[in-house]
Amino acid sequence: MNELVKQQWLIPFLPLVAAAVQSLLPRKARKLSAGICLTAMGASCVLALRAFVGTLGHHEAERAVWNFVWFDYGTTRLQLGFILDPMTAAMALMVTFVGFWIFVNATGYMSDDENFTRFFCFLSLFAAAMLGLVVANNLLMLFMCWELVGLCSYLLIGFWYFKPSAATAMKKAFITTRIGDVGFFLGILMLSWQAGTLNLYDGGNGALEQAGKLAGLHGWFGWSMATTIAVLLFIGAMGKSAQFPLHVWLPDAMEGPTPVSALIHAATMVAAGVFMVGRMFALFTAGGSAEHPTFAMDMVLWVGCFTALFSATIAVGQFDIKRALAYSTCSQLGFMMMALGAGGLVPGQFHLLTHAFFKALLFLGSGCVIIGTHHEQDMRKMGGLRKYMPITFWCYLIGMLALAGVPPFAGFFSKDEVLLVTFQRSKVAWGLATFAAFLTAFYMTRQMFMVFAGKWRGGHHEPHEVRWNMWLPIAVLSVFAIGLGFFGGKYEHYLGVHEEELHGKSLVMGLSVAVGAAGILLGWLMYGRKTMAHAEEPDPLEVKLGALFTCLNRKWYVDEFYDATIIRATMLLGEFWRVFDNRVIDGILHGIAWTAWGVSQVVRWVGDEFVINGGFDAGCEGVRLTGREFAKLQTGRIQGYLRILCLGAVILLVIWYLK
Amino acid sequence: MSVPLGYYLMLGGVLFCIGLCGALTRKNAIAVLMSIEIMFNAAILNFVVFWYYLHNGALTGQMFALFAIAVAAAESAVGLALVISVYRHYRSVDVDEMKALKG
Amino acid sequence: MNIVFLTLSAIMVLGAVLAVTLRNLVHCLLALVVFFLGIAGHFFLLKADFLGAAQILIYIGAVAVLILFAIMLTRNISGTEGGRSSLGGAWWLGVGLASSLAGMMCVFVRRSELVTKLPYGATEEGVVKEIGKLLVTDWVVPLEIMAVLLTAALIGAVVIALEEEKKR
């Protein structure tokens, strides 16, 4: 293991090299580009497998690290490092393996796109960033890769940037995750300040190995320092793993090509948050016990639990095949977070692994459906695809059963463990999660019947089966979606965590099977017995639920809520600062009389806007106005900018002088 | 030689600010570039001064100055090429007219 | 206080001030050359002979000539355009900012402990040979990178200056 860890850097390095090479290839070199990409990913996968095999057979949770000095500045020594422990090895193997098959699928999905090489370049970089994040033994390196993952998702979601919706979605994803990253970065700074190092493990001196010490220090709001840092880090994970209330970017990320959705939703982007919480688990638990968990753990638990239920309800009301799956991902990520929050590191990470396989399967399957139906994404305009696309149908069915938690598919085992560990912590959370599991089974059944059952509702173009390079990946992944669950017990042993005997095992398992079956049964009753005849026919659920269904379909109006509150508030603040700015600068230029007038303007304006014109229909106008006003600051004259820079330098020096 | 370090530093600072003043006020782009050269030279002078006064056997200060001179040469070549290109485009080298980046 | 230092500094400051204030660009350039020479003189004074030589070669031999070419090519020697002044609109703002920055710098230099700690420099011998050795041993990688950078700048300058010509 100590030898293997020194080769860990190769795992992210190979896709990185592939990305670098592809960035130089001409656009016509499609075959070469795909070849390089697949070779690099395959080689990484072999390396990951070797590392994985190397970690087998160690009964205790053994960990090998390899730190090296990046550079010195002053007396501080900045180190980077790599880690090899069971969690890393399993994760790296999953990312490379699932990633490899997603790449294979992408060669089919993107075969008509003229920017094929650019796509594969980004894809390689994405995989490299995620792998770097997994093998990093240093929070700084993890953060750099974390940001790279964000950048790549931005580039890939907006791959078809000429579509306005894609351009909006890419910005939304970037900005939303960035809000979380502020917390993450603050957490890193606090940790660096308190622990004096950002190495996670360093022979007793690493940041995580000092978790006990940090738990003894006082942080914010009466929490311990460890909890404070953990909460800040979790805010970052909330953005990346799309937890409520920062989940809004994930469904919009559907604007990217489908292989990207598969990559984001299964192997890379969203997994990063859950993985990071698992990696920093020592900080989250430090200072708490099973009876009195820390605030950080409670936060993880309840945010996860709420997201799981909340997103599951939204998924019920979606008509876009990928959007429904996107909310399902949100919900499943909630499950993982909930398990972590309940203290179950193993169930959380195990669900992450199994989910990656069957969610990649489902997304790639939906990609096949989209290609097979000539770029149709509305489930109401599908139907009867079982006849036209048999291979896709069977694989999709396996994925759906795994997600719905039907034994003996992979999802059943991992979800069962999640529910079991939650049951130990909180009966309420467990109840809500069980209901979310019921909804999961229901919406997946709904989707199956809408897409594959009945007759074709999509018009003249008949759907067709996809080519081998698209169905082969989902066939391979479906094997794992069936078989992976049986390794749950082994995985626990492999991670070296010995958990005490959990009570209520049979009750939880029985109920979980029962709600799964109930969900599927309800889905069949509503969608299976009588399939939709026309694309315009209302959804049976819509008939039953009425306004509530509209609410679900509109995603509980979260986006609208954000538009009306946060975005509008930001605009108002921007407007305020603009007025403030103009008045103050004018004040210097034109004297005190102007300033007095400016203040009165501000007061008048604030009163006017807030009290009288509070309705949010003015929001759009506010956006445009603020943009126009801010644009005025951009005079394009370099000397103006230089003057401001110089002014800043003088002010800083004066402040320093007066200090 | 008996010049205290402070005088050299003040000389460097004053020269830098003269250059800055030119870069802030001149309208001709070539004049702005010349002002920037003055700023560069003031900074390079500081490197050498510190090398001289902090002298500890290493030549790092001189090396830095040498590389800074080389970079400044590259900068002025590209900068002047840009000025000529801009002149061809706008028929003027007035920096106030170069505001295509206006928002 | 050294008379050579004072004289050199006075010439340099004068050259710099003229370079940023004169209206005729060729006159500005000549003042700039004086300034460059002053800097080189200071380098010699500070026992950095090699740098002094490099300063004269590069700045006066290359950069100044380059600037002269640019002035000629843009045919705007007077520095004025259509009767407008050579200074931008808010020139007093620039002057004010720059002089306050200079003032602050001097204040900080006076306050600095380093100045009292290192009042006078040590006498050093010429180290040209040493520089040559270091350039091909410890500093060889930066040297190579610098070579690439200069090549890139050369090509870049040619490409930028050619671009519009080709389109026409």
Please tell me the predicted confidence (pLDDT) of residue A317.
78
Cβ distance of C156 and B81 shorter than 8 Å: yes
Would you say residue A308 has pLDDT above 80? Answer: yes
Cβ distance of B62 and C51 shorter than 8 Å: yes
Would you say residue B69 has pLDDT above 70? Answer: yes
Banded model confidence at residue A29, pLDDT cuts 50, 70, 90: confident
Lookup: tokens for A402 = 């795994």
Nearest by CB: A635 against B20, B23, B102: B102
Would you say residue C34 has pLDDT above 90? Answer: yes
Nearest by CB: A636 against B24, B25, B101: B101
With CA atoms as reference, the chain A residue closest to B27 would be A639
- For the stretch B23-54, pLDDT in tens is 888 888 888 899 999 999 999 999 888 888 87
Least Cα separation, residue B95 to chain C (angstroms): 9
Would you say residue A363 has pLDDT above 80? Answer: yes
Would you say residue C48 has pLDDT above 50? Answer: yes
What count of other Cβ atoms lies within 10 Å of the Cβ of residue A505?
12
- For the stretch C154-164, pLDDT in tens is 888 888 877 65
Banded model confidence at residue A618, pLDDT cuts 50, 70, 90: low
Q: Which residues of C touch B70 (CB under 8 A)?
A: 58, 146, 149-150
The C-alpha atoms of residue C39 and residue A493 are separated, in whole angstroms, by 72
Q: Using CB atoms, list chains with 3+ pairs below 8 Å to chain C.
A: A, B
Least Cα separation, residue B40 to chain A (angstroms): 16
The mean per-residue pLDDT over the stretch B61-81 comes to: 89
With CA atoms as reference, the chain A residue closest to C94 would be A643
The C-alpha atoms of residue A409 and residue A218 are separated, in whole angstroms, by 46
| Burial per residue of C153-164, b for 16 or more beta-carbon CB atoms within 10 angstroms, e otherwise | beebbeebbeee
Q: Which residues of A touch B21 (CB under 8 A)?
A: none
Banded model confidence at residue C31, pLDDT cuts 50, 70, 90: very high
The mean per-residue pLDDT over the stretch C101-120 comes to: 79
Please tell me the predicted confidence (pLDDT) of residue A11.
85
Computed over every residue of chain A, the mean pLDDT equals 79
Q: At what angle do helices B60-90 and C64-74 cross, to 10 degrees?
A: 10
Tell me how many residue pairs between chain A and chain C have CB atoms under 8 A apart. 23
The A residues from 572 to 631 touching B (CB cutoff 8 Å) are 630-631
Banded model confidence at residue C75, pLDDT cuts 50, 70, 90: low
Please tell me the predicted confidence (pLDDT) of residue C39.
93
Q: Which residues of B touch C71 (CB under 8 A)?
A: 30
With CA atoms as reference, the chain A residue closest to B25 would be A639
Least Cα separation, residue A583 to chain B (angstroms): 21
Q: Which residues of B touch A646 (CB under 8 A)?
A: 20, 24
Q: Using CB atoms, list chains with 3+ pairs below 8 Å to chain A.
A: B, C
Please tell me which of A59-68, A129-138, A188-197, A484-493 the model is most confident about, judged by mean pLDDT.
A129-138
Please tell me the predicted confidence (pLDDT) of residue C122.
60
Q: Which residues of B touch A633 (CB under 8 A)?
A: 103
Q: At what angle do helices A10-24 and A30-55 cross, to 10 degrees?
A: 180
The mean per-residue pLDDT over the stretch A162-190 comes to: 84
- Is any Cβ of chain C less than 8 angstroms from the Cβ of A189? no
**β-pair partners for A136:** A82
Tell me which of A39-48, A189-198, A558-567, C142-151 is least confident. Answer: A558-567
Would you say residue A607 has pLDDT above 80? Answer: no
Q: What is the pTM of this model?
A: 0.66
Tell me phi and psi for residue C48, to 5 degrees: -100, 70
Side-chain half-sphere CA neighbours of A93 within 13 A:
18
Sketch out chain B's domains with CATH numbers: 5-92 (1.10.287.3510)
The mean per-residue pLDDT over the stretch A75-87 comes to: 80
Contact C150, B30 (CB under 8 A): no
Tell me phi and psi for residue A343, to 5 degrees: 95, 5
Please tell me the predicted confidence (pLDDT) of residue A616.
46
Nearest by CB: A642 against B24, B98, B103: B24
Cβ distance of B102 and A634 shorter than 8 Å: yes
Rg (CA), chain A: 26
Only one residue has tokens 């094997």, namely A479
The C residues from 70 to 129 touching B (CB cutoff 8 Å) are 70-71, 73-74, 76, 79, 81, 84-89, 91, 93-95, 97-99, 101-102, 105-106, 109-110, 112, 114-115, 118-124, 127
Cβ distance of B85 and C76 shorter than 8 Å: no
With CA atoms as reference, the chain C residue closest to B85 would be C161
Tell me which of A199-208, A417-426, C130-139 is least confident. Answer: A199-208
Would you say residue A527 has pLDDT above 80? Answer: no
- For the stretch A578-589, pLDDT in tens is 776 665 655 555
The C-alpha atoms of residue A409 and residue A440 are separated, in whole angstroms, by 15
- Is any Cβ of chain B less than 8 angstroms from the Cβ of A635? yes
Q: Which residue would you say has higher pLDDT here, A454 or C39?
A: C39
- For the stretch A369-414, pLDDT in tens is 888 877 777 777 777 777 778 888 888 888 888 888 777 788 788 8
Nearest by CB: A635 against B24, B32, B99: B99
Q: Which residues of A touch C100 (CB under 8 A)?
A: 650
The C-alpha atoms of residue A424 and residue A597 are separated, in whole angstroms, by 64
Would you say residue A289 has pLDDT above 60? Answer: yes
Cβ distance of A636 and B95 shorter than 8 Å: no
Please tell me the predicted confidence (pLDDT) of residue B17.
92
Only one residue has tokens 């041993």, namely C137
Contact A55, A86 (CB under 8 A): yes
- For the stretch B6-15, pLDDT in tens is 888 899 999 9
If DSSP codes are grouped into helix, strand and coil, which group holds residue A273? helix
Would you say residue C90 has pLDDT above 90? Answer: no
Contact A38, A104 (CB under 8 A): yes
ipTM of the complex: 0.89
- Is any Cβ of chain A less than 8 angstroms from the Cβ of B95? yes
